[in-house]
Amino acid sequence: MAAKTEMPYIHRDISWLSFNYRVLQEAKDPSVPLLERLKFLAIYSNNLDEFFRVRVANHRNLLRVGRKTRQQFEYEPKTILKQILKIVNAQQEEFSEIFEKQIVPELNRNNIYLKRRLQLNKVQRTFVENYFRENMLPFVQPVLLVKHKIRPFLNNAALYMVVYLEDKEDASRHYAIVKIPSDHLPRFVILPSASAKRHELIMLDDIVRHNLSQMFPGYHILDAYSIKLTRDAELYIDDEYSGDLIQKIKNSLNKRQVGPPSRFVYDREMPKELLDFLVETFDLKKEDLLVEGRYHNNFDFFKFPDFGMQHLKLQPLPPLSYHELDDEQDFFQALREKDHLIYPPYHHYDPVVRMFAEAAKDPAVTHIKITQYRVARKSQIMNALMDAVKAGKQVFVFIEVKARFDEEANLRWGEKLEAAGVKVAYSLPGVKVHAKMALIRREDEDGPRLYGYFSTGNFHEETAKIYCDFGLFTSDHRLTAEAGRLFTFLETGIKPLQPFKHMMVGQFNLRSTLESLIDREIKNHKAGKPAGITLKLNSIQDKDIIAKLYQASREGVRIRMIVRGVCSLVPGKKGWSENIEAISIVDRYLEHARVFIFENDGQPKYYLASADWMTRNLSFRVETVFPVYDPDAQRMIHDIIEMQWNDNIKARILDEVQSNRYRRQDTEIAVQSQVETYFYLKRREEMMVRAREEAEEASDEAQLSAGSSKG
């Protein structure tokens, strides 16, 4: 009997590291403006920090529980951890190379000089010493380390300097630790310069280095090396199904900052005897260790001063007005007439904010319902909901408290909303509510009507400036009625009796409907009818859905995929996926929209979604996938997806070896899809304005003609 061939599959975390490398590619791309390259170094570092706090910490926990428990998993955590550390070590070396050999010299060519302490002139040394005494001294917390006796607690993600000392009296050698107070002060400090055209600055780390002798007056400073410890960010809620879930989350949040180590990073110049000392002192394990360069917490490059040098940044693309709503006096009348699709950040997010502001003050509005996953710290939308309660409306907000790293913010908003009189429901046990939708009930002249907003992204005014997401405004009863049933479930916990026919909803029909849609494309292709699938996702990892796509490919269905992050599916694999192509786009904006297009015998079905094709989304979350019925909105989705598919500047090819090769097509026309999308939507808005003006002129002429004929 022939052995069964294992399905091609890339582990999600190995694929994620490949995605993060695409971010690093932007940092080393000389065509990207210099200060934007620094920003991509920051994004890469921030991503990696979260990855270690969540994913790597999870593998280490699996490793700790022992062999019997691990047998249920389809991979060996130790093997994955080894692969992760090997990949990250190589990437960190490249990170240092990019920064030291490419970006620093380029900064210098633009008269920006990031100086180290030995490069300071006399005036700058005096400035640095005064800055240290006046601003830093209360925060540095110098402590001598004594093996088995003195072991200070290392705060999560805080920066420290380990100092090698020699006693001036007896020449004995010691180690000490000093905090770099980047949590209190700017990481980059601008230095006095002899020329207004010459911009000089120093990192807080090097100010600490320069002033070590002030902290240890009885010692010679022999050397100093930077370190950082990140801690496990999992909340570890024992049983979500019993007791007070919200209180359990609050209790777990208090423990997050003191969780077990997930990564200990250190300067690659650190001698082995010092590293061994630190491993013993802080009770670290070999798999906790990760070598980096001289500096850590490189996400602080987000705050690198720009010195007003706008030519070193991307040319801004000012958000466009969506005229069909912005120019409309009666917002809800516009929604009664047709559906409206916006695409922030290319479009302003203003229509979303306006919808809630209008609903809050409109006397005909009786109810507002909304899901909250992540929300801005200062949210006009949340403020409008509280205003709506004051105006006598019934407002319901479902808050998902388990949105990682937003738990505290969501709890604070929940308390504030409840205090204002909003009815608030919190997380469901065992699942996350990841749907992004809102519903407004209004007493129109012809009776009560529901108005809905469905999105691929959160109700977050700040991330809407950098995340690409589709948002659909509609009064289509097919969608709003089903959204109403879903809100009833979230509010009461009672599952709807009627099935969802138009929407796909996680926990109800999401997985089964997706599989049926793929099966229909297979059937159509076999019958000689038009068939094909185009997918835009953040991530795809679920083995069952990947197997279904492989089946469709083997049957001859052409599948195109645009995947920003994790892609566990292997495109172009002989015998499995010859008919599947996949690309990934990393550019100025974060690609966050989920789009599913099924050819459907020449009558394509268009869906937008909150859900990726991860097991967590398909099986353990309440998600919404909503059809787009409006032909104009369908055309817009089609055009934007085609621009992305034809990108030959920022698209990388996804393949088995994860080479991240840039896709270069045989054409003289450069297509950078994010720039092309902006100008496509700009032309579209201009055409709509012209069409409206022409219609108004024609109406005026008709009225004049009618008036003159009567005369």
Taking each helix axis from N to C end, the angle separating 380-390 and 407-419, rounded to the nearest 10 degrees, works out to 20
Q: Name residue 201's beta-bridge partners.
A: 114, 190
CB 231 within 8 A of CB 257: yes
C-alpha closest to that of 341 among 459, 441, 435, 474: 474
Question: Catalytic site residue 434?
Answer: yes
C-alpha closest to that of 540 among 580, 574, 508: 580
CB 189 within 8 A of CB 207: yes
Determine the Cα–Cα distance for residues 523 and 364; give it in Å rounded to an integer: 48
The total of other beta-carbon atoms located within 10 Å of residue 348's CB is 20
Q: Kindly report the three-state secondary structure assignment for every residue of 340-376.
A: EEECCCCECCHHHHHHHHHHHHCCCEEEEEEEECCCC
CB 260 within 8 A of CB 52: no
Give CA angle at 383 (382, 384), nearest 5°.
90
Cα distances (angstroms) measured from residue 679 to each of 210, 351, 587, 684: 50, 20, 16, 8
Determine the Cα–Cα distance for residues 400 and 409; give it in Å rounded to an integer: 11
Both tokens of residue 671? 């297509």
Give the chain's length. 711
The total of other beta-carbon atoms located within 10 Å of residue 342's CB is 26
**How far does Cα 473 stand from its chain's mean position?**
24
Cβ neighbours for 652, distance < 8 A, ≥ 6 positions apart? 22, 25, 583, 584, 585, 586, 660, 661, 662, 663
Concatenating the DSSP letter of every residue in 678-707 gives: HHHHHHHHHHHHHHHHHHHHHHHHHHHHHH
Q: Rounded to the nearest 10 degrees, how much is the dihedral formed by the CA atoms of 635, 638, 641, 642?
A: -110
The total of other beta-carbon atoms located within 10 Å of residue 321's CB is 15
Rg (CA), the chain: 29
Cβ neighbours for 488, distance < 8 A, ≥ 6 positions apart? 494, 496
List for the chain the helix, strand, coil content (%; round to 5). 45, 20, 35
Residue type, 607: Y
Residue type, 229: L
Determine the Cα–Cα distance for residues 142 and 144; give it in Å rounded to an integer: 7
- Could you give the maximum distance between any two Cα atoms of the chain, in Å? 114
Q: Which of 199, 210, 296, 434 is catalytic?
A: 434
Burial of 448 (0-12, 13-18, 19+ CB in 10 A): exposed
Block residue for tokens 């599989």:
515
Residue type, 95: F
Q: Name residue 261's beta-bridge partners.
A: 231
Q: Which residues are catalytic?
A: 434
